[in-house]
Amino acid sequence: MSERTATAAPPAGIRPRSLRQLDRVAAAIFAASLRGSCWVFLLVVAGLAAELVWGARLSLRTFGIGFLWSSQWNPVTEQFGAAPFIYGTVVSSGIALVLAASVGILAAIYLAEFAPRRLGIYLGLLIELLAAVPSIVYGLWGLFVLAPVVTTWIGPALQASFGFLPIFQGTIYGVNMLTAALILALMIVPTITAITRDLIAAIPMRQREAALALGATPWETAAKVVLPAVRRGIFGACMLAFGRALGETIATTMVIGNRPVISASLFAPGYTVASVIANEFTEATSDLYLSALIELGLILLVVSLLVIGLGRLMVRLFIR
Amino acid sequence: MTQAATRSRRARRTGPHLLSAGVLVGALAMAPAALAATQIVGAGSTFDFPFFSKAFYDYTAKHPDVTVNYQSIGSGGGIQQFTARTVDFGATDVPMNAKELARAKGSVLQLPVTLGGEGIAYNLQGIAKGMRLTSEVIADIYLGKIIKWDDPAIAKLNPGMKLPDMKITVVHRSDGSGTTYIFTDFLSHVSPEWQQKVGTGKNVQWPAPSSIGGKGNEGVAGLVKQTPGAIGYVELAYLLQNSMTYAEVQNKAGKYLYPAENTVAAAAATKPDVSATNFSIVDTPCAECYPISGYSWVLLYQKPQDPARGKLVKTIMTWLVTAAQPIAKTVDYVPLPENVQQRALGVLAKTEL
């Protein structure tokens, strides 16, 4: 009994003067550290961008704006161009996003709306576990399991049914743009599913009950009442996932074929910015070579910011 | 408050303190042991890594107060770290050229430490090891001029084999590497068209339209194994350890040879005066020489900053190029020939300690 009263804090409002001052100082420090951490982060990113520009200056000077659409990548004659890498990055991530968004959103709707509660929890957990798998494991699985599957089943099937489309023509290599897009899709599905499911779960039951009361089927409720309400959030989740796919290095480099070409076919090998930097950075001993790789990194940063910025702009203009 | 509650309250306060005290004591106990051993740091070529890994482990077993930490980051990385003096020694498959030497802060010694051969691996169902390929055919395949396996140029060399009507998928290294350098050096020697169109380098613009890249020797080996109709160049050690099918390559004297310890060593023996400026042993003229062979080099400063460490590094390197060479055999590497060992020792003798 005595112990309890000895350690109890004085009632709120009746504090000695020194404690109040201490409170104010503590509050000020807390606010400053919060603001500070925000600014530190922004400064680090700005410093990163500045460092990239500084490192790329030789390449920027030598190749100028033509670097963006040149398809040459010749370390021997030191002719470098970014076009195949930008193409590879954007196409593989774009296709991955389309695949992941379609599967992920539907999965999230199922988990949040239709699945029995227990099953929903366990399935959701399993999907989130996918996000915890290291990318090199995805890369190894992609190389040894998915690539042969694409070569023997998925590729020929697509070519047989849709072979008239230029994206499904040509020789089917195991390591190609399609395999890379599939692996990336697998890696970003958990992000989209988890975020979408939480968003959907946050919609109050009353809206669903109202829709059902008006005679809507569960499917109509999900499609016309729930989904539109979370459109903005889903878009945000997709942008997040796209950003992750743009920067994914190891898993992509193991399954994309590492060939700096732009080809119409999805079955042809490709190359992404992150892969080429990871592959060639340690052996790039000449200054121009190194500078060209750093410029590629700068381009990736700019492309990521542009795409995500555009996404947010679209959300603001068109959604709600 | 009850007795039990009081006790648990005290336990909650002392528990964390006991834990942190225990961790601190444990860390302090380990610190003296770590400080006692000297750690020599090296970085560079991935090709050397399996050999160095085993050799340095054996060295520490014999001299427990010395550990060697080798970071396999690639030849270029090794040269960069060596130039910045963040490591005691560097390792590279291609010796530093004049520009890189000028950037180094001091005179550099480069000594050969191991040998390697590159085999041409392929993946064709039903076709066993031992397809015969001439250097010109290999060059034409990599140039993209020969695109199918049943091309007359290949069929002519292998009359007994039933070659399928399959497209050749050419596999190369996607990461810049000394292995690529040795291979492109070989192609430049045997094909003037390759020399003019592509050239030699740790990374080049691969002309074949079907060319795909794998990361590291493991990547190329993996891609060749996964892709029917693939062909790729892989270091001997990886070929043997992955039980791959590889070709017999015709050397300059006209004989078809597998990459093996004796054929690679024979290639090395043709250049007894090997040095950092004269190191190419591809396409050598002797009868038993394997044409795609190369050395790997260790970089040391002639005047080390710390004399004690410099002496230790010199002792280790002396051991590496002489007594440690038999260890190379156990990991499928090729030991240095006797005369080259002497040359390496000669380079080491130039250290100013």
Residue A237: closest CA among A272, A192, A279: A192
pLDDT at A8 over 80: no
Residue indicated by tokens 């107060």: B65
Distance CA B139, CA B197 (A): 12
Cβ contact, residue pair A76, B200, below 8 Å:
yes
What does pLDDT average to over chain B? 87
A-B CB pairs within 8 A amount to 98
- Split at pLDDT 50, 70, 90, the class of B23 is low
DSSP assignment of B111-175 equals: EEEEEEEEEEEE--TT--S--EE-HHHHHHHHHTS--BTT-HHHHHH-TT----S-B-EEEEESS
A273 near B CB under 8 A: no
Does B223 contact chain A (CB < 8 Å)?
yes
Quick check: A279 and B76 CB within 8 A? no
Minimal CA separation from B338 to chain A, in Å: 31
- Domains of chain B, earliest start first: 3-116+295-348 (3.40.190.10), 117-293 (3.40.190.10)
Q: Is B67 on the interface with A (CB under 8 A)?
A: no
Q: Which of B167, B177, B227 sits opposite A283 (nearest CB)?
A: B177
Is A74 near chain B, with CB under 8 Å?
Answer: yes
Strand-pair partners of B296: B114
Interface test with A, best of B79, B96, B166, B175 (most A CBs within 10 A): B175
B71 in contact with chain A, both atoms CB, cutoff 8 A: no
A76 vs B219: CB contact, 8 Å cut-off?
no
CB atoms A76 and B211 under 8 Å: no
pLDDT > 70? residue B5? no
Contact B76 A253 (CB under 8 A): no
| Cα–Cα dist B342/A96, whole Å | 57
Could you tell me the two tokens for A25? 């100082």
Q: Which of B80, B176, B214 sits opposite A280 (nearest CB)?
A: B176
Rg of the Cα atoms in chain A: 26
Question: Quick count: other Cβ atoms within 10 Å of Cβ A15?
Answer: 14
Which chain A residues are closer than 8 Å to B144 by Cβ? none
Supply the pLDDT for residue B34.
46
CA distance B101 to chain A (A): 12
Are B176 and A279 an interchain contact pair (Cβ–Cβ within 8 Å)? yes
- Structural tokens at position A53: 């520009």
pLDDT, one tens digit per residue, over B87-135 is: 999 999 889 888 889 888 889 999 999 998 999 999 999 888 889 999 9
Statement: residue A309 has pLDDT above 90: no
Residue among A1, A275, A282 whose CB faces B77 most closely: A282
Q: Region B241-250: what's the mean pLDDT?
A: 92
Mean of pLDDT values over A206-233: 90
> pLDDT at residue A103 above 60?
yes
Cα B34 to chain centroid distance, Å, stands at: 30
Mean pLDDT of chain A: 89
Would you call B284 helix, strand, or coil by DSSP? coil
By mean pLDDT, which of B47-51, B85-89, B181-185 is the weakest? B47-51
Strand partners, B171: B212, B232
Give the rounded percent of residues in chain B with a pLDDT score beyond 90: 54
Residue B260 CA to its chain's centroid (Å): 16
Going by C-alpha positions, the residue among B234, B288, B200 that lies closest to residue B116 is B234
Q: pTM for the complete prediction?
A: 0.81
pLDDT tier, A16 (very low <50, low <70, confident <90, very high otherwise): low
List, as one string, the DSSP characters of B102-121. Answer: HHSSS-EEEEEEEEEEEEEE
Q: Say which amino acid occupies A39.
A: W
The better pLDDT of the pair B324, B5 is held by B324
Q: pLDDT, tens digit, for every residue of A121-164?
A: 899 899 888 889 999 999 999 988 999 999 899 999 999 999 88
In eight-state DSSP terms, residue B301 is E
Cβ(A157)–Cβ(A97) below 8 Å: no
**Contact yes or no for A269 and B169 at CB 8 A:** no
Say if A253 is an interface residue toward chain B (CB within 8 Å): yes
Q: Contact A283/B176, CB-based, under 8 Å?
A: yes
Here the tokens at position B43 are 């970085």
The region of weakest confidence among A48-52, A214-218, A312-316, B210-214 is: A312-316
Interface of B with A in 73-132 (CB under 8 A): 73-77, 79-80, 99-100
Task: Identify residue A69 by its one-letter amino acid code.
Answer: W
pLDDT, average across residues A77-104 = 94
In this predicted structure, the answer to whether residue B176 has a pLDDT above a threshold of 80 is no
A73 and B100 in contact by Cβ < 8 A?
A: no
Asked if A290 has any chain B CB less than 8 Å from its own CB, the reply is no
Chosen for mutation from B212, B218, B224, B299 (greatest number of chain A CBs closer than 10 Å) is: B212
CA B147 to chain A, closest CA, distance in angstroms equals 12
Q: Cβ contacts (< 8 Å) between A72 and chain B: which residues?
A: 205
CB neighbour list of residue B156: distance below 8 Å, 6 or more residues apart:
none
Q: How confident is the model at residue B29 (pLDDT cuts 50, 70, 90)?
A: low
Of A75, A173, A271, the CB nearest to B227: A173
Q: Does the pLDDT at position A319 exceed 80? A: no
Q: Cβ contact (<8 Å) for B204 and A75? A: yes
Higher-pLDDT residue of A76, B22: A76
Of B186, B195, B179, nearest in space to B280 by CA: B186
For residue A172, the chain B residues in CB contact (below 8 A) are none
Q: What's the one-letter identity of residue A310?
A: L
Interface contact B299, partner A, CB < 8 A = no
CB of A71 less than 8 A from some CB of B:
no
| A-chain residue closest to B180, CA distance | A283
Question: Percentage of residues in chain B with pLDDT exceeding 70?
Answer: 90
Contact list in A for residue B212 (CB cut-off 8 A) is 173, 175, 257-259, 269
> Looking up tokens 């009994």, which residue turns up?
A1
For residue A281, the distance in angstroms to the closest alpha carbon of chain B comes to 8
pLDDT tens for B262-289 read 999 899 888 888 888 888 999 999 899 9
Mutation to test the B interface, candidates A5, A285, A286, most B Cβ within 10 Å: A285
CB contact under 8 A, A77 and B175: no
SS (H, E, C) chain A: CHHHHHHCCCCCCCCCHHHHHHHHHHHHHHHHHHHHHHHHHHHHHHHHHHHHHHHCHHHHHHHHHHHHCCCCEECCCCEECCHHHHHHHHHHHHHHHHHHHHHHHHHHHHHHHHCCHHHHHHHHHHHHHHHHCCHHHHHHHHHHHHHHHHHHHHHHHHHHHHCCCHHHCCCCCCCCHHHHHHHHHHHHHHHHHHHHHHHHHHCCHHHHHHHHHCCCCHHHHHHHHHHHHCHHHHHHHHHHHHHHHHHCCHHHHHHCCCCCCCCCCCCCCCCCHHHHHHHHCCCCCCHHHHHHHHHHHHHHHHHHHHHHHHHHHHHHHHCC
Q: For position B26, what pLDDT does the model report? A: 62
CA dihedral A284, A286, A291, A294 (to 10 degrees): 10
* CA B201 to centroid of chain Cα atoms: 15
Asked if residue B331 has pLDDT above 70, the reply is yes
Select from A309, A124, A98 the least CA-distant residue to A200: A124
pLDDT band at B222 (very low <50, low <70, confident <90, very high): confident
pLDDT at A48 over 90: yes
